[in-house]
Chain A
Amino acid sequence: MDKPLAGIRILDLTHVWAGPLGTRILGDLGAEVLKLEAATARGPRDIPVVQGGQYPGGDPGTEHWNRQGFFNKLNRNKRGICIDLKAAAGKRLFLALVAESDVVIENFSATAMNRLGLGYEAMREANPQIIYVAMPGFGTSGPYSDFVAFGPSVEPMSGLTALMGYNDKELRNTAMALPDAIAGVTAAAAVVTALAQRKASGEGQYVDLPLHEAAISLLGEKYIETQLTGKPPAVTGNQNRSFAPQGVYPCAGDNQWLAIACPDEATWSNFALFSGIDKAGFANMAARLRHQDQLDDAIAEFTVNRDKHELMVQLQQAGVPAGAVMTTPEFMADPQVTERDYFVELGGDHIETLPYPGSPVRFDGERATEWRRAPRLGEHNDEVLRQLLNLSDDEIQKLKDDGVIANAPPTVEQAGQR
């Protein structure tokens, strides 16, 4: 099994979605990822944070901070270390780890690392070849660099919200923090780019990767179209402005839908033949584009009493691009997903074995990763400090006694005293 990033060590200070997603991808490619967290990173010990209900069985258990589904999904194949970067000894540990690493990546606010005294200059002093990737919402410079940025509030600033909705009066956000998902994948690309450049030049670099610009980059052609045509693209719901039909059509049952798209004459002919929709009035693409609403009505009439799964299979077999709008249990049980063993079961003593999304990449037919569950908070403190920094048992014990390293969160009261 090929692991292209074997031998690369990444010091991962990221949190929430975008950053951990990026380092998960790098871990999937074989990089050694050291997840460095503060003791408070997963919430205080005595207040389980129930957001979206993500503990197995809804049960936070006795160590809720290690049982969070969202965290466990994003942090497989990483080793966990928990260091207080506000303490002088913690800063020394961090810089010692930088000296042993290839990449440092974080998604704090634009000024956080410098405020800790651990900015790029400090890192470069510890390791002149270090690659440092910063992922603040709006970048490390510019008028918005100090904006408070979460994925959902960055999304409208990218222009996506103004493009999306039922019409231009009923705009819709994706409501799923899409810039995080974009920036996460982009972060993996950024790290690999910098590593490849360092291999050629011998030099590290400081990389700025804002969620904002990552999201704009994925809308690329829309910005060009705006300039070529002199106006932003219209909001067209589920219709496509280049071809018809395209839509999400009702099927039998409550809230059941099927996406159908015919981007060319061949797929349209296949669909018309299968559905029996009268082709008169929809003879060519120009006519179908002119009469999209009528065409959509005719298609909805055809789909509304049919089962979405059966119709998807029938249409695909007839040469028509179609996909059932699936919920999680539906796509997890889908034959394509199960046959390719896409989901991966991970668990440990503290968390039940459950399926998590795998990797979409195969190397010579196999996934490159080893699939190790996400680390408990500070689980690999001793191992990492001993192996990488040659610390003795006594030195590690002193760090524990001084609260510089930890393997459990503080209580609310203790956190307040810090």
Chain B
Amino acid sequence: MRVLEFGDNKAAGYCGRLFQLFGAEVIRVDLPRGRAAETSDSDEDTQVDPLLADIGRSVDIFLHTGKQRVSIDYQTDEGTALLARLAGESDIVVSDVSPAQLDRLNWSTFPGALRVSITPFGLTGPYRGWQGFGPIILAMGGYTYLMGDADNAPLTLPTHYVEYQAGQFAYTAALSSHAFESECHDIEVSMLETILSLSQFTTVMWTHQNRIRSRHGNRFEGVYPVSLYECRDGFVYINVVPTFWRNLVDMLGRPELLEDERFASNRSREENQGALDEIINAEFAKYTMAECLELGQRKYRFPIGAAMTLDQVLADEHLKARHYWRKIEVPGVGPIKAPGSAFRQVPLTLQPTQKYQGPDHG
């Protein structure tokens, strides 16, 4: 299977990454440096600052290692013709360029057995020509309103969540169409609709009860104690739904709390969260994150997670035992750990080492 991928909005890149992990031959077409106007990673200013260069290169390594890379200026007629020839030799063509650029390519008649477009708002509708990526789509799709403190600005996600989730949808739709030989030629994925399809209970809270879900910092509306607490060297998150209340009380070493009417029910715990937070904070401050995790998970058996920093996750024994990381050889840097496939066949085995070759090596 050969997959052709182009566009710089990161969704096609993630879709192509999944195809690469699947074992397909993936050809990525980049615009020549200086022509990619849709993202900052190729902006000239970002190339001169080492940190910004590393940020940009990290995305490139993550998304594109293992792909064949060619550089074609498909914004010119000559480049378009070349892209079309490559598409004609491909089973699946994935793009995340704007609808205007798709129009210029005559997308509906573009070569390729199966064309997949991932666009911010879809190929129809009044916002068809609007610009959108992560923070814009998260705002319009209801996520941003829910994240952060009630009395402060809402927060966006510091990740490419929107783009990668849309890429996952595109991969799933395209691979199923290809594998099962459907008659379809055009798959369309909307990034806004991707986010709208991933609301937790935000939409049903409105449609079923006419209530608007609001943001509460780290607290999860409706259940308590579910929040982030500080310990000696960081933070831990606990998710104490009523089933686990007794387990938490055991860890706190305060059996009298079970008889305390302020904490007798989920509702009363929520109403008295300030008092409860004081008790939890005082106890957790005695422990490190690792101790909290060990006690909470192994001894008292309730849902608790440590707010691990990325270097802690990279060194984590659990992930090491599961061979989660795949090794990538980066010229001038050496071997690094990159996230492997999120789903793998049991028994788990070492993931193959790959070499990052950068752009322009097709």
Contact = CB atoms under 8 A, between A and B. Distances in A.
Nearest to A228: B54
A30 B153 CA distance: 41
Interface in A298-320: 316, 319-320
B25 interface: no
Contacts of B137: 323
Nearest to B217: A172
A328 B345 contact: no
Contact of B194 (A56, A227, A243, A360): A360
A22 B86 CA distance: 33
B197 interface: yes
Interface in A384-411: none
Contact of B201 (A69, A153, A171, A246): A69
A258 interface: yes
Main secondary structure of the interface of A (DSSP, over half): mixed
Interface in B207-252: 207-209, 211-213, 215-223, 226-228, 234-239, 241, 244
A357 B180 contact: no
Nearest to A17: B200
Contacts of A285: 40, 43, 45-46
Contacts of A195: 176, 179-180
A324 B159 CA distance: 19
A331 B142 contact: yes
Contact of A185 (B143, B169, B308): B169
A58 B207 CA distance: 10
Contacts of B263: none
Interface string B303-339: 1111111111110011101101000101001001111
Contact of B18 (A53, A189, A266): A189
Interface in A324-342: 324-329, 331-332, 334-337, 339-340, 342
Nearest to B196: A357
Given A69-B201, A150-B303, A199-B179, A52 B222 contact: yes
Contact of B318 (A72, A143, A152): A143
A360 B130 contact: no
Contact of A358 (B147, B197, B216): B197
B63 interface: yes
10 contacts: A52-B213, A52-B222, A153-B237, A157-B306, A207-B345, A219-B159, A220-B63, A248-B153, A323-B137, A363-B173
B131 interface: yes
B165 interface: yes
A207 B343 contact: yes
A228 B57 contact: yes
Nearest to A177: B200
Interface string A342-364: 10000000000011111111111
Given A196-B179, A360-B190, A171 B314 contact: no
Interface string B135-151: 11111111111111100
Contacts of B176: 4-5, 29, 192, 195-196
A143 B321 contact: yes
A380 interface: no
Interface residues of A, number: 160
Interface in A205-258: 205-210, 213-214, 216-229, 231-233, 235-238, 240-243, 246-250, 257-258
Contacts of A243: 40, 43, 46
B68 to A, nearest CB: 20
B309 A232 contact: yes
B310 to A, nearest CB: 4
A213 B351 CA distance: 14
A175 B197 contact: no
Q: Closest 9 A-B residue pairs measured CB to CB?
A: A69-B204, A360-B193, A285-B45, A190-B343, A323-B136, A259-B139, A328-B206, A196-B179, A153-B305
A129 interface: no
B4 interface: no
Contacts of A17: 200
Contacts, number: 511
A238 B125 contact: no
B208 A259 contact: no
Given A217-B340, A248-B153, A267-B131, 9 more contacts: A185-B169, A223-B310, A241-B52, A266-B37, A316-B130, A326-B141, A327-B212, A356-B203, A362-B122
A48 interface: no
A62 B6 CA distance: 54
Nearest to B140: A323
A284 interface: yes
A3 B182 contact: yes
Contacts of A94: none
A54 B206 CA distance: 9
A150 B297 CA distance: 12
Interface string A173-200: 1111110111111111110110110010
Contact of B141 (A192, A235, A331): A331
A43 interface: no
B197 A159 contact: no
B58 A331 contact: no
A154 interface: yes
A240 B133 CA distance: 13
A360 B153 contact: no
A25 interface: yes
B62 A185 contact: no
